[in-house]
Amino acid sequence: MKSAQSYIRIVVRGIVLSVALLLISNLAHSQIWPFELWHEGKVVLTSGDTLKGILKYDMQQDLVQYAVSGNGTPEAFTARKVLFFEIFDTSYNIYRRFFALPYSSSPGYKTTVFFELLEEGKMTLLAREFLEYRTSGSMYVTGRMVLSHKYFFMKENGDIEEFTGTRHDLLDMMGKHSDKVEKFIRANRLRIEYREDFTRIVDYYNSLFEV
């Protein structure tokens, strides 16, 4: 009798798990991400041409599509044919700028990819976005698809390095200004895990060099 009850419990848990995964999948597909939308903006090509209209970007494939507002067949440009593009993102209600820059994820080979410019100055902060599925630990499966970011810093010589550290590592990079920045972080309760917070931190650091 106990074995039968155990079997039933296992089957019920399996059904609950399947339903939960189905619901999560449906929620993920119902979410609309900024890169799935058309945005008003402009793209500047390496040829020198500037195209104004509506744009749609794909940072996974490093493509940007352009079309004349309201009509016309979209044209797709790889990062190698683009200098930069700018969009007005209604999701964030801000202008966003993306630059095509040479980057090497492994020594010896560079390719041109898109980076979003978050902050420029003594410390230049770049980002690339991607979708990430996050789960929380419990007896029931819970999770959601979120838009995450990888962050990069551009050096004065133009080299780009991914930032994979912690707040402590970031403060170490800021040298003699680390104490001021740390006080700023604590006073405003900022976390580098959040794009807006990370940008504010670097912006504050850069402001310390302004005349």
For the entire predicted model, the pTM comes to: 0.79
Q: Are residues 10 and 37 in the same domain?
A: no
Residue 11 is part of which domain span?
Answer: 1-30
pLDDT confidence bin for 12, thresholds 50/70/90: very low
* Cα three-residue angle 103-36-80, rounded to 5 degrees: 30
- Average pLDDT (75-95) is 94
Distances (CA, A) of 141 to 6, 9, 75, 127, 136: 20, 16, 42, 30, 7
C-beta separation of 132 from 149 below 8 A: no
Let me know whether 105 and 151 are in one domain: yes
**Do both 59 and 111 map to the same domain?**
yes
**Per-residue pLDDT reduced to its tens digit, 95-148:** 999 999 999 877 778 899 999 999 999 999 999 998 887 776 655 556 778 888
How many whole angstroms separate alpha carbon 18 and alpha carbon 60? 29
54 and 20 inside one domain? no
Answer yes or no: do 181 and 209 share one domain: yes
Same domain, 47 and 73: yes
User: What is the residue whose two structure tokens read 């390719």?
Assistant: 111
Residue 21 and residue 92 in one domain: no
> Do 174 and 121 belong to one domain?
no
Do 147 and 200 share a domain, yes or no?
no
Q: Per the structure, how many domains does the chain have?
A: 3
Q: Are residues 4 and 46 in the same domain?
A: no
42 lies in the same domain as 132? yes
Name the band, by pLDDT with cuts 50, 70 and 90, for residue 20. Answer: very low
- Per residue in 144-167, pLDDT (tens digit) is 788 889 999 999 889 999 999 999
Q: 85 and 181: one domain? A: no
Identify the pLDDT of residue 139.
58
Report pLDDT digits (tens) over 23-74. Answer: 344 434 457 878 889 999 999 999 999 999 999 999 999 999 999 976 778 9
- Report the distance separating Cα 74 and Cα 77, nearest Å: 10
3-state secondary structure of 33: coil
Question: CB 111: neighbour CB atoms within 10 A?
Answer: 11
For residue 13, what is the DSSP state?
Answer: H
